[in-house]
Amino acid sequence: MQQKAEGNEHNERNADNRPGYFGEFGGRYVPETLTHALEELEESYERYRNDPEFVEELDRLARDFVGRPTPFMFAERLTEKWGGADVYFKREDLAHTGAHKINNTLGQILLAERMGKSRIIAETGAGQHGVATATVAALYGKECVVYMGEEDTRRQRLNVTRMELMGATVVPVKSGSATLKDAVNEAIRDWVANVEDTHYIIGSVVGPSPYPRIVRDLQAVIGREIEHQSRERLGGVPDAIVACVGAGSNAIGAFHPFVGREGVRLVGVEAAGRGIESGEHGASLAAGKLGVLHGAMCYVLQSEDGQITEAHSISAGLDYPAVGPEHSFLRDGELAEYVSVTDEAALEAFTLCSRKEGIIPALETAHAISHAEKVARELGPGKSLVINLSGRGDKDVETASEALGAARE
């Protein structure tokens, strides 16, 4: 399956053709010092995205290093239990390093190489993006520094060790809630100071233009494979695709080729944490307001007076207080549906998937699995539903067993 980037038709979706915007969302709200680096990245992406050598290198590594195409699997026992649509899993959990994050880091390291950058920085929440970045930095022999909230270094110790084994320096960030938002702030600070030799590999479809589009295009390999595999296996496109939404990269990757197509429901699942009413959640589309975070206009969790509020989710990859600009646009244009699922319901789905299908999913993914039951029942027998299994749950075993233990007491 070719990794070749998409044409322009879905790149930026807005009526007045403002580059870098999806409707009113997106843009480039950054200090002047970064403008040049973003222009350089944009030029490099335009130059290489359809360059035969670039495409060949990305394709080869996707196949030989990452293990693409990832399998498309019939989840027979979940289908039976739910008694609705046939349920399929897109197995991004089987991609090298255990999550979809590798698709993006691989493409970006190839760009960094072509821009002559010797140093790579990244932020990480659950650690999967940090691990994917450390992996490609090792593969290309580059210095790598990963910023990670101190709270997350505790929750995701296994991933800290993995990054360090691959030669990355992990910097624990103590400010704010010591989670993902604070790690991004530190990474941006580092980038401003070292922009000449450093490329910042952003881990999701957020940040200033051109990141949301580059990350989306690199993750769209998931959706292209879903389309190809479902045509082969189901004789047509699926009736629905369900994916979890932290900042939104695995979801946009799975949705991208299907946006605007009649008959394919696209369903994004945010973290409702302890319940939307509790205020402790990560559901930026359900409860956020228009604002700017990390360089882009999007839906952001904020107080009455516009202060960014802390997000909460049992899953470290979903507790980000904003969501990518393209999701904000898809939601407002009713091109995709967005819902949210609590910590408790996600934990239930985590156990259910492990027991029924022999797959321990990431806690992020468990949010998508939980809501998929409702969609499967709504669609009914004879229809098909694909859940994007964004990652595997090794990293979450400790968190889940603590939470399940507490729930039993």
Ligand X SMILES: Cc1ncc(COP(=O)(O)O)c(C=O)c1O
Give the interface with ligand X as residue ranges (CB under 6 A): 99, 125-126, 128-129, 204, 244-250, 317-318, 362, 364-365, 390-391
> Rounded to a whole number, what is the distance in angstroms from the first to the last CA of the chain?
49
| CB atoms closer than 10 angstroms to residue 388 | 26
Beta carbon of residue 244, minimum distance to ligand X (angstroms, whole number): 5
Q: Which of 313, 370, 384, 390 is catalytic?
A: 390
The nearer residue to ligand X, 238 or 317, going by C-beta atoms, is: 317
Catalytic annotation present for 177: no
CB of 239 to ligand X, least distance (A): 22
- The least distance separating ligand X from the CB of residue 116, rounded to whole angstroms, comes to 28
| Cβ nearer to ligand X, comparing 204 with 302 | 204
Instruction: Tell me, yes or no, if 204 is annotated catalytic.
Output: no
Buried b (16+ CB within 10 A) or exposed e, 104-135: bbbbbbbbbbbeebebbbbbbbbbbbbbbbbb
User: How far apart are CB 117 and ligand X at their closest, in Å?
Assistant: 23
Say which of 12, 44, 57, 101 is annotated catalytic: 101
- For residues 151 and 172, what is the distance between their CA atoms, to the nearest angstrom? 8
Q: Which long-range contacts (CB under 8 A, 24 or more apart) does 73-82 make?
A: 74/233, 75/356, 75/357, 75/387, 77/356, 77/357, 78/352, 78/353, 78/356, 78/357, 78/369, 79/376, 81/352, 81/356, 82/372, 82/373, 82/376, 82/377
Min dist CB 242 to ligand X, Å, is 13
Angle at 308 between CA 176 and CA 144, to 5 degrees: 50
196 is catalytic: no
Catalytic residue among 12, 92, 123, 151: 123
Q: Which is nearer to ligand X, 273 or 317 (CB)?
A: 317
Nearer to ligand X, 5 or 322 (CB): 322
User: Could you check whether the bond before residue 71 is cis, i.e. omega within 30 degrees of 0?
Assistant: no
Cβ-based nearer residue to ligand X, 84 or 393: 393
Question: So which residues are the catalytic ones?
Answer: 101, 123, 390
